[in-house]
Amino acid sequence: MKISILRKEAKLSTAITEWIKGDHTQRQIILMISLIVGVCSGLAAFVLKWLIESIKHILTQHFNLSDTNELYMLYPAIGILLAGLFVRYIVKDDISHGVTKILYAISRKRARIKGHNRWSSIIASSLTIGFGGSVGAEAPIVLTGSAFGSDLGKRFHLPPNMLMLLVGCGAAGAVAAIFKAPIAGLMFVLEVLMLDLTMLSLLPLLVTCLTSVCVSYALTGTAPMFQFKMEEAFTIDIIPGCILLGIMCGLVSLYFTRTMNWFEGIFGKLKHPGKKFFVGAVILGVLIFFFPAMYGEGYDVIHQMINNASPDEIMHNTLFYGSENTLLIYLGLVLLLKVFASTATNGGGGCGGVFAPTLFLGSIAGFIFANIWNDTLGLDVGDDYSLTTGNCALFGMAGLMSGVMHAPLTGIFLIAELTGGYDLFVPLMIVSVAAYLTIQTFEPHSIYAMRLARKGELLTHDKDQAILTLLNLDSQIEKDYRAMTIDMDLSKMILVIVKSHRNIFPVIDGQKKLVGVVTLDSLRKYMFRPELYHLYTVRSFIKDPPALLNINDTLKVAADKFDETNAWNLPIVDEEGHFIGFVSRSGLFNSYRSVLQDIASE
């Protein structure tokens, strides 16, 4: 029975695939696939959110708000253990850092993402977050959406540039669906994934975003994700406060980014998975026990921040419950410690992203700033210059997103679409721009991109840099060479030259390590004098190469060395100095032109 059903499904899938291929142009095929990607992304986002909320409801529905609860220490450990075991023994692949994996796939794998990412991230992240892991579901669902786009593109044998576009469509659809924010989904692809917007790519992205949002509307209603009632409209008097809030958000973003990288480095030094789990589970459990606001994604806390909830509602299940005067202290500690909870979640074996933590911290940063601005420091700012805490919580969310992700437009549109607060566009822009300019002073790349940027594997809007990133140094190595040894006499050197079509020859020792090079020009006046054949050896003609390439170098490094030396061929060696081959300027230029044509065809 099951086999019969599977066969019917396979036949239906094949029939749909053949119909789409049909007599349609490539552009029509892309539009049809982008619509399918939108449906898949919308359904995947709904399933993930439903799983997280169901698990969370089952585990916490009996908690008494006025008391601490020891289960806050146990639940997160169970979640990251289950997620870790699932990834280790079922998936058997790394699925963490979802957005970073997409960026890597775009720049180094020609936009090819493994098929299991269509479902593995959903299961792992729902276990992690539902049980209290202090991370977000957005990065996993973005990876899921991109995997759908990549898989469909491969199924239709589309070229790399179209495959890259469909990966972007999947990411945009996922963001649009999970937040009910189609414009933010489009901006996310442009700013975070750094895909170029052309007339060919704009329509598929819009189709995917609109389709995924409509699926989300059909399943969960059309109301914004957060219910927000604006108490005070924007006035020009609050601009100074907005600028300072933006600077604060930029500094908080810097703290979050650098602390997360540092703490991830500590987990990276723990080689055994058991040690990582133990350290992560202990840190996460203790932090959530004292600060239950860190449990899960934290969207309930965001709702409290933007709607001016009471201190007791914010500090439920904590030792601070009932002490209204300690609210800012409690929130300040959460602001400082959230990064450790998020890093411990992923470092211990869980699966999640920093999207939700960024929004969470932004709302808290804005809430704290508004209170300090209005009251704590005793500033006599007057009613005209005072800031509304709910509004500032929104501004802070946009500011942190702008700072952590280097995505000011995504932050502006996302917060407006999340809450329906379109009347606050100007202050959202002010805070986002101020935060972005602040973080840019210290960190040129987002938290997603900085790991790849250090390795030269990041694809950017810089066309020249993008082409060199898309090219692979391994593919440029020419191994059709004939080597010389240091003690060869001129007669044997002539035999090597006759059998070769090159004008440069590597000289290697007994361990195949590069000693130097010999050029045809240096031998030319001795080649036709047989009486000299046994008088001269390689030692007489050997010289150092103009520059040396290492197997771990990027093509950007290779291109720079060609420019510096004006050489036509450069030898490449491994880390031990063993000769591998040559990289030629002409070969690199031909590959550069080929990739440039692919990009231009978009």
Picking from 166, 144, 187, 191, the residue whose alpha carbon sits closest to that of residue 42 is 144
pLDDT on residue 576: 81
Predicted local confidence at residue 106, as pLDDT: 64
Angle at 369 between CA 295 and CA 379, to 5 degrees: 150
For the domain covering 236-461, report its CATH number.
1.10.3080.10
Six-digit token string for 155: 């199924």
The pLDDT confidence band at residue 227, using thresholds 50, 70 and 90, is confident
Phi/psi for 192 (5° steps) reads -90, -50
CB-based burial of residue 228 (10 Å sphere; 0-12 exposed, 13-18 middle, 19+ buried)? buried
CA 176 to CA 179: how far, in whole Å?
Answer: 6
Residue 307: pLDDT over 80: yes
Quote the tokens at residue 301: 């806390």
Yes or no: say if 180 and 209 are a contact pair by the CB < 8 Å rule. no
* Cross-strand bridge partners of residue 552: none
pLDDT surpassing 70 at residue 586:
yes
The pLDDT value given to residue 168: 87
Distance, in Å, from the CA atom of 593 to the CA atom of 590, rounded to the nearest integer, reads 5
Q: How confident is the model at residue 30 (pLDDT cuts 50, 70, 90)?
A: confident
Instruction: Check if the beta carbon of residue 161 is closer than 8 Å to that of residue 195.
Output: no
Superfamily of domain 10-220: Clc chloride channel (1.10.3080.10)
Q: Provide φ and ψ at 316, rounded to 5°.
A: -65, 150
- 138: pLDDT confidence band, cut at 50, 70 and 90? confident
* Two structure tokens written together for 24: 């349609």
Q: Which amino acid is it at 116?
A: H
**What is residue 2's predicted lDDT score, i.e. its pLDDT?**
43
Same fold? 10-220, 236-461:
yes
Per-residue pLDDT averaged across 213-237, rounded?
85
SS3 call for 36: helix
pLDDT at 529 over 50: yes
Any idea which fold 465-600 has?
A: CBS-domain (3.10.580)
| Enclosing H/E stretch for 212 | helix 199-220
pLDDT at residue 5 tops 70: no
**Residue 415 pLDDT greater than 80, yes or no:** yes
Cα separation, 552 vs 566, in Å, equals 22
Q: Rounded distance, CA 152 to CA 107, Å?
A: 19
The arithmetic mean of pLDDT across residues 519-537, rounded, is 77
Cβ neighbours, 10 Å, residue 91: 18
Please, which residues bridge with residue 582 across strands?
478, 571
Of 285, 224, 296, 290, the closest CA to residue 57 belongs to 296
Sheet arrangement for strand 569-573: 477-478, 579-584, 569-573, 549-550
Rounded Cα gap, residues 332 and 339, in angstroms: 13
- Give the bridge partners for 570, in sequence order: 583
- Quickly state the pLDDT bin for 397 (edges 50, 70, 90): very high
> With bands split at pLDDT 50, 70 and 90, how would you rate the model's confidence at 91?
confident
pLDDT digits (tens, 9 = 90+) for 450-492: 665 555 544 544 455 555 555 566 667 777 778 888 888 888 8
Cβ of 167: how many Cβ atoms within 10 Å? Answer: 29
Across 244-270, average pLDDT:
92
Q: Which residues pair with 578 in a beta bridge?
A: 513
Distance CA 572, CA 576 (A): 11
Mean pLDDT calculated for residue range 144-162: 85
Q: Name the strands in the sheet holding 514-519, side by side, starting at the edge strand that comes first in the sequence.
A: 484-485, 504-508, 514-519
Burial of 367-383, coded b for 16+ CB within 10 Å and e otherwise, reads bbbbbbbbeeeeeebee
Identify the burial level of 9 via C-beta atoms within 10 angstroms of its C-beta, where 0-12 means exposed, 13-18 middle and 19 or more buried: exposed
Query: Which candidate, 293, 357, 281, places its Cα nearest to that of 319?
Result: 293
Query: 255: Cβ–Cβ under 8 A, 6 or more apart, which residues?
Result: 336, 339
pLDDT of 341 > 90? The answer is yes
Strands 579-584 and 477-478: antiparallel
pLDDT given for residue 413 in this prediction: 92
Whether residue 219 has pLDDT greater than 50: yes
**Phi and psi at residue 508, to the nearest 5°:** -120, 155
Residue whose C-alpha is closest to residue 266's, from 336, 343, 350, 342: 343
Place of tokens 């996310």: 188
Provide the residue ranges of all domains of the chain, joining segments of one domain with +. Answer: 10-220, 236-461, 465-600
Segment 155-183 mean pLDDT: 87
pLDDT of residue 196: 65
Report the distance separating Cα 527 and Cα 374, nearest Å: 88
Q: Which of 50-59, 120-129, 502-511, 549-558 has the lowest mean pLDDT?
A: 549-558
Tokens of 206: 């819009």
26-52 mean pLDDT: 91
How far is Cα 181 from Cα 248, in angstroms, rounded to an integer?
Answer: 26
For 55-155, where are the E strands, in sequence order?
A: none
For residue 244, the model assigns a pLDDT of: 94
Nearest residue to 358 via CA among 315, 406, 319:
406
In this prediction, residues 257-281 reach a mean pLDDT of: 90
CA distance 159 to 162: 6
> How far is 345 from 280, CA to CA, in rounded Å?
6
